[in-house]
Amino acid sequence: MRKIQWMLSFFVLTGCLRPNYQPQYVDIPCEWRMATNEGNTLCNYRWWKQFQDPVLDELILIALSNNLDLQVAIRRVFEYYARLGISNAAFYPVIDGIASYNRMQSSIALPVDQPIGVPRTFNDFQGYLNGTWELDFWGRIYSANEASFAELLAQIQARRTVVMTVVTSVANAYFVLRQLDAQLQISKKTLESRLDSLRLAKDRFELGETSEIEVKQAEAEVEIAIIRVIEFERDIPRQENLLSILLGENPHSVIRGLAIDDMDYPLYIPEGLPSDLLTRRPDIMQAEDNLIAANARVTEARALYFPQITLTGQYGSESDQLKNFLSSPAEFWQYGVTAVQSIFDAGKIYYEVRVNEELRNQVLFTYRQTILNAFREVDDALITTEKNRELVTEHIKQVKILNEYLHLAQLRYEEGEIDYLNVLDAERQLFDTELQLAQAYADNLTAIVSLYKALGGGWVADADAIALECEY
């Protein structure tokens, strides 16, 4: 009966040392502040195809194949696969083969009678197998293995986070590039219009219908347009260089697809409950895997309070002549059990446990902060997407009104009913609004990209699979 009680107590004790991770409570909002329509499944597909731009599709595929940050993330996962292999190896016995040769001479000072005719100098040949196997009674190896496995899963999610960042960064960089292209075309068109206005002002001045002030005003407006053209001609190659680096290539010009105002706006805005983020965002899953690993490391450290029990054994042969080595009767073997228990370590194990407990607490708060940031990013993206779409509509209306205003101002100026300042005012407002409209188109598209990034979803795993296919 006592034996049974002892065994039950032993298994209860060892079971208490196993990692026991409990999912953390998270205060999750019931819904988003902005209403969304039914498009939840869009998070599971390659959302960038909704824009109907084959060039964008091709750029994203190139980036998934060549991006160097992504290559680093992929290799880091391979590293943690190897680390898990090292951890798994601790479950099995270690067997070493040892062979040695020594030339020795016994000392005449030793108080041992040396047999007559036996030389004091002789050879010693040894060959044996040495085996050790730590018995994981207290779960130290098991806990270390659980931690390594969780760390591997965390690195896989880290790789997916990089995939998500690469895809969204390429899309955003491409949209900004098309925005700059549109703004350059607007600036060139405005420059042509202002050159026409300058010629008209000069003609009217030569006819004595206006003063030289209007000519100088027209010249100043021409210079403003020239400056904007130069600025956009500077910014476009720099944006191309940024996009090239994301593609994992040397800086070069980038082919173009659809104009910024021709890209299709998604019919649906993806939705989902806030709780969905816990299983859709790789950064949240990575943070939880890190928490699981940190919890297992605490259990691993606690196991050091208990004795480490190891089976040991040796088997081999020894001879003074190599030719008799294998046939020599000098066979030897041994086996045994070793238990090592720390008696005094000045609190080393205690502080190792404390270190791992505090690391776990840090990871816990990081996990909670990651979730809070995710909620904020989705809410921000939903609000931005909704309001940016309204801004595009209003900018389009404003451009239409200002075109009519400029047309009327030019007619009345040519008829001499108003001065040139009215024409300048209309031109300036139209130019600024057209540039703002181009930026609003791009902001609208980048807001959609940010929303897909914030929500995560099956598209991340799909893009991750593409990256791994390219790797092999």
Per-residue model confidence as pLDDT tens digits over 215-265 = 888 899 999 999 999 999 999 999 999 999 999 999 999 999 999 999 887
Mode of pairing for the β-strands spanning 94-105 and 331-340: unpaired
> What dihedral angle (degrees, nearest 10) is formed by the CA atoms of 459, 461, 465, 471?
110
pLDDT surpassing 60 at residue 36? no
Whether 279 contacts 371, CB under 8 Å = no
Span 49-66, average pLDDT? 93
CATH fold of 32-100+121-466: Outer membrane efflux proteins (OEP) (1.20.1600)
- Higher model confidence: residue 227 or residue 211? 227
- Residue 123 pLDDT class (50, 70, 90 cuts): confident
pLDDT digits (tens, 9 = 90+) for 374-404: 888 888 888 898 899 999 999 999 999 999 9
pTM of the model: 0.84
Domain limits, the chain: 32-100+121-466
Closest by Cα among 149, 51, 40 to 91: 149
Residue 25 has pLDDT above 90, yes or no: no
Largest CA distance in the chain: 139
Cβ–Cβ under 8 Å, residues 432 and 187: no
What confidence score (pLDDT) does residue 412 get?
87
Average pLDDT, the chain: 85
Average the pLDDT over each of 26-30, 82-86, 338-342 and give the range with the smallest value: 26-30
Token readout for 455 is: 């929500």
